[in-house]
Structure 1
Amino acid sequence: MTAPRAWWTRVPDPVIDAMVVAVAVGDVLLSLADAGPVAQSMAALACAALVVRRRFPLPVFLLTLPASLMLDIVFAPFAALFTLAERSRNRRLLVVCAVLFALASAAPWPLYDLTAHDRTWTLVYFFYTLATAAAPVLLGQLVQARRDLARRLVEIEEAREHERLLHSQAVLARERAQLAREMHDVVSHQVSLIAVQAGALQVAATDPDFKEGARTIRSLSVGTLDELRHMVTLLRASGGRATELTPQPTLADLHKLVTTSGIDAELTGELPPEVSTTAQRAVYRTVQEALTNVRKHAPGASATVRLWRADDGAAFGVTVTNTPPTRPSLPLPGSHQGLIGLRERAELLGGTFESGPTADGGYEVALRIPPRTD
């Protein structure tokens, strides 16, 4: 939702131009008492030129200088100088224009009528006028900076909206890919077992009704597998690559993960064989995230991955501890969501996840899972 525009920004440009010309004409009329035809012509030209000051700011400003030299006017050159400062990014040009205006305003007319006393007063009036000319220049630059800032804020908001859209699409794709993996690795596997068992029963059965029931179960299982494969393909196509439906990692992959982590890491201990597939994935992901953090944030540190189970069988889990880093770490980008995701994964399993620094300056993460988690 954008903020309401100020009332003066809703005034049409032709109306503003007409008001500027009207004020400039009024300023000129106050100085035409003893003006000659040339001065009057220059004043009329300066006022008329203000109509096109938005398109030709520099020529219009230069056209106001003769009138400023011949008459005691300020509004027309100020309006032209403000428009030039609002639209130009050349600050040297703005300084030169301000000096030209000060010279035109301070110089006497005619130029040859200049005594020693007048020269001193002209110099004083020049610096006074130069300081006055800084006002439209600074105001014009301020309006330009405000306009640039507003444009930049719009661009940032559009970029943030685009980033939010991409993030939501990435989350949706990740969830679909995760669902596809779960269907492929768990549901498809179990339905395959049903089909195999039903086929075995169909072969071994002697009763016709029993054989027909086994055949029906096997036929439905095969059809279900086909539907699952089709759904998995659709999910993968909409959530990422439609290939590489590889099984999720298990405890059997931990040794390879530790040895190929790129750091000095040691794997000790073991877990009970009845650990569920879901719990095995949680243990694997915990070790993977912990070793990744060691590699990113603790260069030169060594790590110990300890698999454990309680003596009374009430829980099992993994603890990853690393020593303090031996050299400074480089600032690497990260989502800062890894540990949060591990904690959420542990909570879904009914377990706990803890992380924090150790007394010797290292870091430790610990996952604890109750038994019979599936």
Structure 2
Amino acid sequence: MSRPPAPLLDAILVAAALLDVWVHADTSEPLRLASALLAACALVMRRRLPRVTFLLTLPAVLLSDAVFAALAALYTLASLTRDRALLVVCAAVFTLGNLVALPSPGFDFSAPSIFIALGYTAATAAAPVFLGQLVQARRDLSSRLAEISRAREYERQLTAQTVLARERTTLAREMHDVVAHQVSLIAVRAGALQVGSRDDDARHAAATIRQLSVQTLEELRHMVSVLRTSGGSPVELIPQPSLGDLQRLIDDSGIETELQISLPGSVPPPVQRAIYRTVQEALTNVRKHAPGARATVLIRHENTTVRVMVTNGPPTRAALSLPGANYGLVGLRQRAGLLGGTVRYGPTENGGFELSLELPVTGRR
């Protein structure tokens, strides 16, 4: 259960102190009444000035029986200070002040009853001191538990980062030892085919394969560097593709492709990368599943939306059986979703295939 707000709690304490004044103070004795009212009103500043508040309540203890305000001030002082010697002195002052009845003090230490009254008054003063110290200890314990929880959360984060760094290192090693090695073999074989073949088309295809293999190796090296230096010094990344690289992508694809772009103004870099990757994935699928087919890439701007449509006709020769896990289209959907767009794809009526991308463009320069 949550504690009541501090102003409300202060108002309750002041009201209780005023009720104590109403019960014990007498209007015929203005000095006693004024001291009791001063003590009750002083509780308003008990949190900001606990020592001053306790001192302001002492006249009421010496002159009247309205001691609730002094007990409340003593409790507040005990809950906020760590000076136990001061608390002992304050409790002793309250005890002695409550036994004295100014302006005519009268108590006899020879009477046994005075010791009973002294013990009762000392216990009354000790109660708010112990309660305040208990509240302070509970507050310190809660703070310490919160620090321990934060430390454990930070430790869990460090452990997760360590595991992630280890996995990235393993992935980088696998990419370097397996993928990069195989791509290197492809580049070497393509270079040998380019030199040894007498067919111009075969030499051109081999040159394209070799160029793409070298480019893939460069990208793999940068990716391996990024993975291996995870959490360390920043690594210079390769330039990200843009709309200016689309024509080269189409020329290197080996597919007869018509490119139509109508984009007034500039397009944000994330949108440009999404368009590039969409066209790249679409052309890759054409090579794999529709060899010999012609493709059309249409990119246009409509209101606040960029639309990309890549359409290809039916294959003109049998498709090769190549491994695939459909991760490319899934990745396109995820990339488009992060940018607030959508990706749709499916077969066309003439036996071809169409891939479309729609992305919002809110700002143009």
Scaled by the length of structure 1, the TM-score of the pair is: 0.55
Asked if 1:182 corresponds to 2:171, the answer is no
Tell me, yes or no, if structure 1 residue 68 matches structure 2 residue 61: yes
Is 2:61 the partner of 1:92?
no
**Structure 1: how far apart are the matches of 2:219 and 2:234?**
16
Gaps of 5+ in 2: 236-365
- Structure 1 residues 150 and 35, CA, compared in 2 at 3 Å: closer, same or farther? farther
Displacement, 1:50? 1.6
1:172 corresponds to which residue? Answer: 164
Cα distance change, pair 124–219 in 1 and its aligned pair in 2 (3 A): same
Residue 59 of structure 1 corresponds to 52
Question: Which of the residues 140, 143, 148 maps onto 2:140?
Answer: 148
> Percent sequence identity over matched residues?
56
Instruction: For 2:73, give the aligned amino acid.
Output: A
The aligned counterpart of 1:285 is none
Checking the alignment, whether the CA contact within 8 Å between 2:197 and 2:203 is kept in structure 1 is yes
Check the 8 A contact 2:26/2:33 in 1, yes or no: no
* Deviates most, 15-24 or 135-144: 15-24
Cα separation, 2, equivalents of 1:242 and 1:48: 62
Q: Which residue of 2 aligns with 1:123?
A: 115
Shift of residue 103, structure 1, vs aligned partner: 0.8
Is structure 2 residue 94 aligned with structure 1 residue 101? Answer: yes
In the alignment, the residues of structure 2 paired with residue 52 and residue 196 of structure 1 have an alpha-carbon distance, to the nearest angstrom, of: 85
Q: Which has the larger displacement, 138-147 or 218-227?
A: 218-227
State the 1:202 CA deviation: 4.4
1:221 matched to 2:204:
no
Distance 1:13 1:234 in 2: 53
Describe how 1:228-239 pairs up with structure 2 within 5 A: 228-238=220-230
- CA contact 2:168–2:228 (8 Å) conserved in 1: yes
Deviation of residue 77 (structure 1)? 1.2
- The Cα of 1:161 is off from its aligned counterpart by 3.2
The alignment of Structure 1 onto Structure 2 pairs a total of residues equal to: 235
**Matching of residues 249-328 of structure 1 within 5 Å:** none
Q: Aligned pair 1:163/2:155, yes or no?
A: yes
SS at match of 1:143: helix
Distance 1:45 1:226 in 2: 83
Q: Deviations over 1:90-139 (max 9, x none)?
A: 11111111111111112344455344545x43333222211222211111
CA deviations on 1:207-240 (whole Å, 9 max, x unpaired) are 6666566545434432332232232234345454
1:15 maps to 2:3 = no
Asked if 2 retains the 8 angstrom alpha-carbon contact of 1:24 and 1:75, the reply is yes
Compute the displacement of 1:56 (Å).
1.3
| Equivalent in the alignment of 1:260 | none
> Is the 8 Å Cα contact of residues 25 and 65 (structure 2) preserved in structure 1?
no
Q: CA deviation at 1:84?
A: 0.7
**1:78 corresponds to 2:71:** yes
The alpha-carbon deviation at position 184 of structure 1 amounts to 1.6
Secondary structure of the residue aligned to 1:30 is helix
Q: Corresponding residue for 1:360?
A: none
Counterparts of 2:14 and 2:234 in 1: how far apart (Å)? Answer: 68
